[in-house]
Amino acid sequence: MVRRLVIGAAGQLGIELVLQMQAEFGPNSVDISDIRVPDNEAVLRSKFLHLDATDEGALSRILEEGKYDEVYHLAAMLSATGEKKPLAAWDLNMQSLLNILEAAKEGWINRVFWPSSIAVFGPGTPKNKVPQSALLDPTTVYGISKQAGEFWCRYYHEKYGVDVRSVRYPGLIGHRSLPGGGTTDYAVEIYHYAAKDEAYTCFLRADQVLPMMFMDDAVRGTLELMNAPKEKITIRTSYNLGAMSFSPTEIGESIRQHKPQFELNYAPDQRQTIAESWPCSIDDSSAQIDWGWKPQIMLDDMSEIMMKAMAKENETLKS
């Protein structure tokens, strides 16, 4: 059995990835770790290990004991929170990655997954269909840490043969967990408000188009990348990964197919400046060619799934 460790398992992506691993491979196929206990009972069917990923000693002990084949290192401070605590964001995002890469170099782990982000792009990057090899031009600390991290990953692969794999996620939208501290968080929050028949005030401009992805696609893509034969992986920085692009106005219209009275207002804040530095759409042909990436869920299908899931959750809360 492949032994997996997910670091950052209490986060938006962590919870969803662990749930999928449990469903596909069983709760014992994955151990989970975070600095806080995940707020999700099902996730806790897997063994929980308290870990501050910047603590090299604590990480070594966990890896030594767990004998993991794969580590999914998801712990990070995202774009909006990172701007409030730049040095803390750099420290967490970089130190934790270097700790994992060192452990992999020493042979404690066979394969590493580490996520990058559209935050590596910036004003000097084309806005539409950003090519894989586009200029990286990050304007946030989060983006700078992802850019540097990408090149550290390639360095450890080329120098030491570390099998580290990565994708540049767009904004991720799912109903089983909440995002925290990102610029794309509005696209999750909006469904929670709509489902409760409450008006939502969006912190981005009405016409701000960003690349986005439904969580199930993101999780499937991640596991497909990790299962791909080594020789298929030609990019050791991080793969562009695309699915759909929309603006707050467009997601509002999609939601109104289910909630015709849904009221959407706008009060752009500092996150708007981050959003407008990012591209609108992504060219992910390298991921398609190398390991068969293909997104399945687009905006209206996603709205249907999200609204149904939220309605169910609200019912359970009432009963």
Per annotation, catalytic residue among 68, 142, 169, 186: 142
Taking the complex as a whole, how short is the minimal distance between the CB of residue 178 and ligand SER, in angstroms?
A: 12
Q: Is 171 in the site for ligand SER (CB under 6 A)?
A: yes
Taking the complex as a whole, how short is the minimal distance between the CB of residue 258 and ligand SER, in angstroms?
A: 24
Q: Is 40 in the site for ligand SER (CB under 6 A)?
A: no
User: Where does residue 26 fall: left (phi above 0), alpha (psi -120 to 50 degrees), or beta otherwise?
Assistant: left
- Nearer Cβ to ligand SER, position 49 or 178? 178
Is 191 among the residues known to form the active site?
A: no
Among positions 82-101, residues that touch ligand SER (CB under 6 A) are: none
Taking the complex as a whole, how short is the minimal distance between the CB of residue 176 and ligand SER, in angstroms?
A: 16
The span of 52-60, 178-186, 188-196, 241-249 binding ligand SER (CB under 6 A) equals 178-186
For ligand SER, the nearest residue by Cβ is 182
Binding mask 114-143 for ligand SER (x = CB under 6 A): ---xxx----------------------x-
Taking the complex as a whole, how short is the minimal distance between the CB of residue 179 and ligand SER, in angstroms?
A: 7
- Nearer Cβ to ligand SER, position 18 or 76? 76
Q: Catalytic amino acids? A: 142
